[in-house]
Every structure is written in C-alpha cells, then in structure tokens.
Amino acid sequence: MPELVFFSGTMDCGKSTLALQIEHNRSARGLQGMIFTRDDRAGEGKLSSRLGLVTEAVEATPRLDLYAYAVDHMSRGGKVDYVIVDEAQFLPVDQIDQLARIVDDLALDVFAFGITTDFRTKLFPGSQRLIELADRVETLQVEAMCWCGARATHNARTVGGEMVVEGEQVVVGDVGGAAEIVGYEVLCRRHHRKRMTSAAARAAALSPDVLPVTPG
C-alpha cells in the first residue's frame, strides 16, 4: 500500500542526504520520481545536502497545488512512481493535505523530509500537519550533536553570533553561517534553554568570571 512517510529530525541530521539516497536507489531501478523542495540552501529548484550532493527539483511555492501539478504531469504522459518532498516544514497546511491526496488518489508513495520545531521550539504548521496525517513518522537515527557532545534536540537561530528567540518563523540560513548574518545551530535542550551556543560557550571559557559572583 502506498504511504505518506514523514522523516523528521533536527538540522544537520542527514534528512536531505537520505532524500537524495532514496531518489538514487529508486531511479537506479528505472523508477521515476517527482521531487519538490522549498527554500533549499542551494537555491530555487534544488535539493541539496551538506555533503555536496545536489539534484533538480520543483520549487513548491505557496500557491502551487502539488496534487494538481502531479496530475497534470501524468496527464501529459509523464511518469511518476513516487514523490519526494524536502524542507517539508516550510509547506503550508493545504499543501500537506495535497500530499496526502497524492497517496490516496494517485496511489503513490510520498516521502517528506523536514524538521519538526523551529528555533523557538514551536511546531512548524507543515510538520504538525504531517504528524497528524502521515502513515508513518520516522525519526532519523543519525544524531546531530550539540557543541557539548550531547545529542542535539533543538534548533537555534543566531544573529551576529548570538541566539535569538523572536522573529519570523521562516528565515533561510544555514548551520555554520558567517557570524554577521542569520545562522543556525543545533543544541541540546539544556543549552537551548540557557541560550548557550558554541560561540557563547567559547566566550564564557575565556572570561575570568565563569561562575556567578555573589557580593559579600
């Protein structure tokens, strides 16, 4: 039976790499996939991983009806055996519903990849809807690591090297970006609560007063 599968995890845990691997394995067997993405780090209409792999994709703009796009492609004689969606957290709720319809009405497997929560630890609407509708939710087993060595469970946004917890939910950046621009870092819950990024930890280590000082 065809399925809607949501592969989730923090940033830097290999979601896009797995998406590309699924595409490679299936296309090597003569199957034809339709790939959607949104706001990929490599630019519009690209699916890329941090390992340097990249392939062409359809940019899922907010007004694009994914179900209608697939039906139109197939009506014109195009072959579609499965659908891959990367950066699925950025999709609006109606597009997630369209993915479910692709599974149910077109009998195609849909593999969606995305992070679950934003830099404020709030669910992305697209991810929430996927959790509600997916036949399976798979947490990726490749563990991203916090700077302290613990398993990273939260995504942090930095501006000018400092962690922020306010702002627009979607601002495109990348892990390890230049300090003066928007960047992202994965942290364990403890250090996300303390807003202790790797840069902040280095600064604290250089400070002569690394412990609280009580007067008197």
Catalytic residue among 3, 87, 132, 166: 87
Region for 211 from its dihedrals, namely left if φ exceeds 0, alpha if ψ lies in -120 to 50, beta otherwise: beta
Token pair for 131: 């959790």
Amino acid residing at 10: T
Q: Of the candidates 145, 157, 124, which has an alpha carbon nearest to the alpha carbon of residue 188? A: 145
DSSP designation for 120: T
Catalytic residue at 162?
Answer: no
**d(Cα 62, Cα 32) in Å, to the nearest integer?**
24
Nearest-angstrom CA–CA distance, 158 and 192:
12
196 Cβ contact partners less than 8 Å away, ≥ 6 residues apart: 163, 187, 204
CA–CA distance, 42 with 56 (Å, rounded to integer) = 10
CA distance from start to end of the chain: 71
Please list, residue by residue across 86-115, b when 16 or more beta carbons sit within 10 angstroms of its beta carbon and e when fewer do.
Answer: bbbbbbeeebbebbbbbbeeeebbbbbbbb
User: Annotated catalytic sites, by residue?
Assistant: 87
